[in-house]
Amino acid sequence: MFDDSFGDSYVRVKKRRETAESIADRLTAEGQELQPVKAHGKAIATSFWGRAWCRAVENWQDYESRLPAGRSLLKNGGVIDLKLSENCASAQVAADRLYQVRIRFSGVEGEQLDALRNACAGKLTSLIDLIQGKLSDEVMELICDPAFGLFPRYSELKPSCDCLDDAVLCRHAAAALYAIAPRLDDQPELFFTLRGIDPKRFFALEAIAGTESESDLSAEDLSAAFGIEIDL
């Protein structure tokens, strides 16, 4: 059952946003450092990694009845805090009150990762293109493949929330899932953190055979482009 009385059919959007802002202001005054997330337009995300994340979420048909409410919460400023760590997303979602959400993801298996790297070998223009999501259709299909790509399947996540909704995925957890997409627009490196993938291994030149121009890329070049330290 839902414990959230702030459904779209009952409360104006303005009221929902004011409630979220009020809760966020209170938490900030108490000394919390919040990392709020806002949707990047009607599509929620704009980058390759963000859009692909949304598509992966919307392929989880077991959860499709809760996804619209999650999108609405995100678009109305409900996700006032989102922190991503290895295999885990923690969020604070404001609706009629503050909800604590945690979503755990299974890590990508080594054999699965090796198979993907081998499939991508010779198909990447450069590692920088991979980082920036500038990929050929073939590589994009491999990375987004529902069978062995990098994006999680619904069986690989365990959402939890302190609300009274007894569904596997409540609207607050759905909002947190969608909020990952615009965060990836701004910090694509967090995708690899969330999936438990070591970027040093994934970007290894001996594992991904590219063009000659790749050999000229330094670790500093990759680190600057992707916001992480990479040793090649």
Write the pLDDT tens digit of every residue in 84-113.
Answer: 999 999 999 999 899 999 999 988 877 888
Binned at pLDDT 50, 70 and 90, residue 16 comes out as confident
Q: What is the mean pLDDT of residues 6-35?
A: 82
Write the pLDDT tens digit of every residue in 141-193.
Answer: 888 888 788 898 888 899 999 999 988 899 999 999 999 999 999 988 898 88
pTM score over 0.85: no
Query: Do residues 44 and 179 lie in contact, with contact meaning Cβ atoms separated by under 8 Å?
Result: no
